[in-house]
């Protein structure tokens, strides 16, 4: 370990370690989880680090209880997180939906592995893209971030907490086995330099507080994010998974129910420009765009660089935010591109979304790999050459 000129730490670490560092830097002080490969290192490190910072770690009896405990801790005022992989992510879905409707900020880390079912616990995959968006039922909001490196795992974990707190919503960090377990030299920033966002607290006395109503001066704004009081701070309010009014109590009124559902989705949709992040390389005149995300993108960018060296007008587009989906960035790329090669370790989940976003403006070629192995740059380069 060394100290950089900027005061940060230079370390050799794996992605799961970087996730823990990011969570603690962001102010996470509660973790509940259940061990599952390939996310287990996150729980192990949290069990060591959290108590030293006055935080709480608890290994729950299962994934369902883990998600419930995280929700309870967040309602009590703590920044809270859980970590899991595919089968555990499936078990968390009902409570993720509860957190979305009750607007409880929390972070869920899903380190993807091969599925469905038990699959291949130690092998990489990217098959949880649609589950991250539509895993729970109903028209729920979703914010999903996807790192491709160890350092970006740190950065996006911090961002996940900041977005969860600012928007009062669960945020998913969608990693994968390769990113989680590879080790890289990483320069972490000085914690004092990291921007940390905390949830807004109510400014009115308890008797005037509406847990799902706008703050004073915000009346009538679609997509508003209500201030959030912590249980134990003198504010007593009702939390239910039923549709509810601004006072938190169940409602059977159709207009009131519709207003709630539209608002919790609008608070994400209205901030698309802020939420959606992509990375671009050699895109100005790209006729062939390789689009990827997570660990697959590491091979994709190498393939694009080699294609450029051979005189092929290839470009690289990486999705950092998976949901909301980057429709605008994809449509912009279609101004020069005639084909999009989508490289992903599943059977085409993102490729279908790219095709939807393009509206026929360019052709989509799905490049899938589901044999427990990561793409090689040569494999993607060969597909680029087929399109020349």
List the 183-188 sheet strands across, edge first. Answer: 2-3, 9-14, 183-188
* CA atoms of 41 and 21, how far apart (whole Å): 12
Do the beta carbons of residue 258 and residue 244 sit within 8 Å? no
CB-based contacts of 93, cutoff 8 Å, min separation 6: 131, 135, 136
Is residue 256 predicted with pLDDT exceeding 60?
A: yes
CB-based contacts of 92, cutoff 8 Å, min separation 6: 63, 64, 66, 67, 82, 84, 108
Write out pLDDT tens, residues 143-158: 999 999 999 999 999 9
Is residue 5 predicted with pLDDT exceeding 80?
A: no
Token digits of residue 218: 């915000």
Give how far Cα 18 sits from Cα of 15, 33, 150, Å: 5, 18, 6
Q: Exposed, middle or buried by CB within 10 Å (0-12, 13-18, 19+), for 220?
A: exposed
Token digits of residue 143: 């914010």
- Kindly report the pTM of this predicted structure: 0.96
Residue with the two structure tokens 């504010």: 235
Query: In Å, how far from its chain's centre is CA 263?
Result: 21
Q: Where are the extended beta strands (E) located within the chain?
A: 2-3, 9-14, 28-33, 56-59, 79-84, 106-112, 144-145, 170-176, 183-188, 278-281, 288-292, 314-319, 321-323, 339-344, 363-368
Residue with the two structure tokens 């997509």: 223
Is residue 251 predicted with pLDDT exceeding 70?
A: yes
Q: Estimate the crossing angle of helix 40-52 against helix 15-26, to 10 degrees.
A: 40
Token digits of residue 161: 């907490």
Peptide bond into 116 cis (omega under 30): yes
Is residue 1 predicted with pLDDT exceeding 60?
A: no
Pick the closest to residue 342 from 329, 353, 328, 331 (CA basis).
353
Residue with the two structure tokens 């980057």: 326
Task: Work out the average pLDDT over 45-50.
Answer: 98
DSSP line for 326-358: -HHHHHHHTTT-SEEEEEESSSSHHHHHHHHHH
**Greater confidence, 229 or 223?**
229
Intrachain domains 2-193 and 278-386 with the same fold: yes
User: In whole numbers, what is the pLDDT of the chain averaged over residues?
Assistant: 96
Pick the closest to residue 99 from 89, 88, 107 (CA basis).
107
Do the beta carbons of residue 169 and residue 143 sit within 8 Å? yes
Give how far Cα 379 sits from Cα of 68, 95, 225, 307, Å: 43, 40, 46, 12
Give how far Cα 46 sits from Cα of 137, 186, 190, 236, Å: 30, 19, 20, 31
Residue-level pLDDT at 120 = 93
2-193: CATH, from 3.40.1390.30, 3.40.50.970, 3.20.20.70, 3.40.50.2300: 3.40.50.970
DSSP letter at 207?
A: G
Could you tell me the residue ranges of all domains in the chain? 2-193, 278-386
pLDDT band with cut points at 50, 70 and 90 for residue 2: low
Write out pLDDT tens, residues 156-175: 999 999 999 999 999 999 99
Write out pLDDT tens, residues 10-44: 999 999 999 999 999 999 999 999 999 999 999 99
* CA atoms of 196 and 152, how far apart (whole Å): 16
- Beta pairing, strands 170-176 & 106-112: parallel
Token digits of residue 377: 């740059």
* CA atoms of 366 and 244, how far apart (whole Å): 43
CATH class of 278-386: alpha beta
Residue-level pLDDT at 222 = 79
Residue with the two structure tokens 């697959």: 296
Token digits of residue 85: 């992989």
Residue-level pLDDT at 147 = 98
Is residue 215 predicted with pLDDT exceeding 70?
A: yes
């Amino acid at each position: 370990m060394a100290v950089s000129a900027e005061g940060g730490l230079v370390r050799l670490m794996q992605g799961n370690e970087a996730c823990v560092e990011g969570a603690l830097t962001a102010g996470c002080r509660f973790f509940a989880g259940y061990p599952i490969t390939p996310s287990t290192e996150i729980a192990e490190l949290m069990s060591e680090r959290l108590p030293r910072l006055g935080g709480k770690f608890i290994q729950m009896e299962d994934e369902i209880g883990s998600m419930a405990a995280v929700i309870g801790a967040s309602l009590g005022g703590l920044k809270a997180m859980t970590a899991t992989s595919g089968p555990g992510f499936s078990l968390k879905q009902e409570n993720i939906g509860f957190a979305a409707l009750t607007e409880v900020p929390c972070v869920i880390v899903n380190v993807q592995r091969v599925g469905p079912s038990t699959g291949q616990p130690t092998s990489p995959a990217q098959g949880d893209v649609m589950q991250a968006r539509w895993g729970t039922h109903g028209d729920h909001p979703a914010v999903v971030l996807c790192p491709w490196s160890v350092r970006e795992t740190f950065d996006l974990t911090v961002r996940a907490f900041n977005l969860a707190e600012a928007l009062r919503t669960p945020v998913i960090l969608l990693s994968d086995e390769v990113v989680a377990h590879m080790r890289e030299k990483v320069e972490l920033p000085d914690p004092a330099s990291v921007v940390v966002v905390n949830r807004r607290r109510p400014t009115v006395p308890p008797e005037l507080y509406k847990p799902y109503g706008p703050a004073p001066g915000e009346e009538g704004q679609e997509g508003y994010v209500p201030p959030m009081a912590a249980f134990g701070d003198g504010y007593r309010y009702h939390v239910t998974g039923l549709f509810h009014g601004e006072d938190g109590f169940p409602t059977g009124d159709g207009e009131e129910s519709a207003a709630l559902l539209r608002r919790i989705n609008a608070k994400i949709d209205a901030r698309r420009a802020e939420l959606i992040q992509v990375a671009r390389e050699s895109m100005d005149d790209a006729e062939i765009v390789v689009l990827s995300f997570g660990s697959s993108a590491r091979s994709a960018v190498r393939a694009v660089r080699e294609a450029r060296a051979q005189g092929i007008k290839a470009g690289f587009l990486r999705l950092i935010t998976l949901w909301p989906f980057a429709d605008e960035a994809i449509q912009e790329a279609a101004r020069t591109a005639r084909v999009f090669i989508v490289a992903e370790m599943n059977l085409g989940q993102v490729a279908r979304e790219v095709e939807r976003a393009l509206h026929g403006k360019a052709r989509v070629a799905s490049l899938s790999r589901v044999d427990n192995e990561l793409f090689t740059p040569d494999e993607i380069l060969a597909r680029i050459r087929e399109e020349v």
